């Protein structure tokens, strides 16, 4: 995925779209759903690197509108992939529709995969920061990093850590839903990280303005390090754009 924002919308039908069937929906965890999509077209699916994403076209009042979701798992042999939908802190009409109304057997139009990158193995450490919309991407990146690689992961999420089945290396910053309007807990978390030195990779994803601000802070405070930075905007706060 390229640095910057991926939140722009598109109107259906875009060129090169795929039609995939919803074959499973796991809504067992509060505020989230894992959607398994299947289609023979996935046999020719492009490279699916950690953090890669699809644009999924969801019914809207003026036609289908595209929204971005990270690919959590991809099984080329069985023509299946899984995406994870999270209920955002300020809500989102399209994500809420997937969470509440999508049924097994329905079809979704998608384009992708886009973006994604292998986490660097030639660095001394990794830092990953994000909100609930970055859970799937960070989980896929952690799968590529062995236990010997020093990594610090902080995720600002609305539910307690027990609500998530993820890598134990993730530190959950549970803000509670009533605190959604408060400043992100990532600011305090990044300031409290152990001192940085040597070569490192910083990966940030979530709300666009916050991702850019955290990137600037880290570049300034870790200027003495050899730093590879990737900051990605998945969504914008209501003061910036409407869903």
- Among the three residues 54, 79, 114, which one is the final residue of a domain in this structure? 114
How much is the average pLDDT of 176-191?
A: 80
> How many domains is the chain partitioned into structurally?
2
> So what's the pLDDT on residue 238?
67
% residues pLDDT > 90 (the chain):
63
Residue 29: band (very low, low, confident or very high) from pLDDT cuts 50, 70, 90: confident
Confirm whether 243 is domain-assigned: no
Residues 135 and 224 in one domain: yes
Tokens (6 digits) for 68: 């971005």
How much is the average pLDDT of 148-162?
A: 91
Confirm whether 53 is domain-assigned: yes
Residues 163 and 99 in one domain: no
Confirm whether 137 is domain-assigned: yes
Pick from 71, 7, 1: which is nearest to 208 by CA? 7
> So what's the pLDDT on residue 177?
61
* Predicted confidence (pLDDT) at residue 14 exceeds the cutoff of 80: no
Residues 110 and 130 in one domain: no
Confirm whether 242 is domain-assigned: no
How much is the average pLDDT of 158-166?
A: 81
> So what's the pLDDT on residue 3?
45
pLDDT in tens, 224-236: 999 999 999 988 8
Sequence-separated (6 or more) residues with CB below 8 Å from residue 18: 39, 41, 42, 109, 110, 111
Residues 139 and 226 in one domain: yes
Confirm whether 66 is domain-assigned: yes
> So what's the pLDDT on residue 237?
77
Residues 103 and 135 in one domain: no
Query: The CATH number of the domain where 61 resides is what?
Result: 2.40.30.10
Question: Dihedral through CA 98, CA 153, CA 71, CA 238, nearest 10?
Answer: 40
Sequence-separated (6 or more) residues with CB below 8 Å from residue 130: 137, 138, 154, 155, 156, 186, 204, 205, 206
Residues 78 and 20 in one domain: yes
Residues 90 and 129 in one domain: no
How much is the average pLDDT of 172-199?
A: 86
> So what's the pLDDT on residue 63?
65
* Predicted confidence (pLDDT) at residue 95 exceeds the cutoff of 90: no
How much is the average pLDDT of 147-174?
A: 91
In this structure, the number of other CB atoms found within 10 A of the CB of residue 11 comes to: 12
> So what's the pLDDT on residue 89?
60
Confirm whether 89 is domain-assigned: yes
- Please tell me the distance from the alpha carbon of residue 58 to that of residue 56, in angstroms, as a whole number: 6
Residues 75 and 95 in one domain: yes
Query: The CATH number of the domain where 212 resides is what?
Result: 3.40.50.80
* Predicted confidence (pLDDT) at residue 13 exceeds the cutoff of 70: no
* Predicted confidence (pLDDT) at residue 220 exceeds the cutoff of 70: yes
> So what's the pLDDT on residue 53?
92
Decide if 85 contacts 69 (C-beta within 8 A): yes
Residues 109 and 131 in one domain: no
pLDDT in tens, 46-79: 889 999 999 998 876 666 778 889 999 999 999 9
Residues 108 and 139 in one domain: no
Residues 92 and 143 in one domain: no
Residues 140 and 71 in one domain: no
- Please tell me the distance from the alpha carbon of residue 59 to that of residue 66, in angstroms, as a whole number: 9
List the domain range (segments joined by +) for residue 162. 125-235
């Amino acid at each position: 995925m390229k640095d910057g924002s991926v939140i722009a919308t598109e109107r259906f039908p875009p060129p090169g779209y795929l039609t995939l069937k919803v074959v499973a929906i796991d809504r067992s965890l509060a505020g989230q759903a894992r959607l398994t999509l299947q289609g023979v077209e996935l046999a020719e699916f492009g490279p699916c690197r950690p953090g890669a994403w699809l644009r999924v076209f969801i019914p809207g009042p003026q036609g289908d509108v595209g929204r971005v979701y990270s690919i959590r798992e991809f099984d080329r042999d069985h023509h299946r992939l899984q995406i994870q939908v999270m209920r955002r802190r300020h809500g989102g009409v399209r994500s809420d529709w997937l969470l509440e109304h999508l049924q097994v057997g329905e079809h979704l139009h998608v384009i992708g995969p886009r973006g994604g990158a292998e986490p660097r193995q030639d660095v001394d450490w990794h830092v990953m920061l994000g909100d609930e919309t970055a859970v799937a991407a960070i989980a896929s990146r952690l799968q590529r990093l062995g236990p010997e690689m020093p990594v610090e992961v902080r995720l600002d999420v609305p539910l307690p850590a027990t609500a998530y089945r993820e890598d134990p290396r993730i530190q959950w910053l549970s803000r509670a839903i009533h605190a959604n309007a408060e400043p992100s807990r990532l600011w305090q978390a990044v300031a409290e990280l152990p001192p940085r030195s040597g070569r490192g990779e910083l990966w940030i994803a979530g709300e666009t303005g916050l991702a850019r601000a955290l990137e600037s802070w880290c570049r300034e405070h870790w200027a003495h390090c050899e730093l590879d930075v990737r900051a990605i905007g998945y969504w914008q706060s209501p003061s910036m754009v409407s869903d």
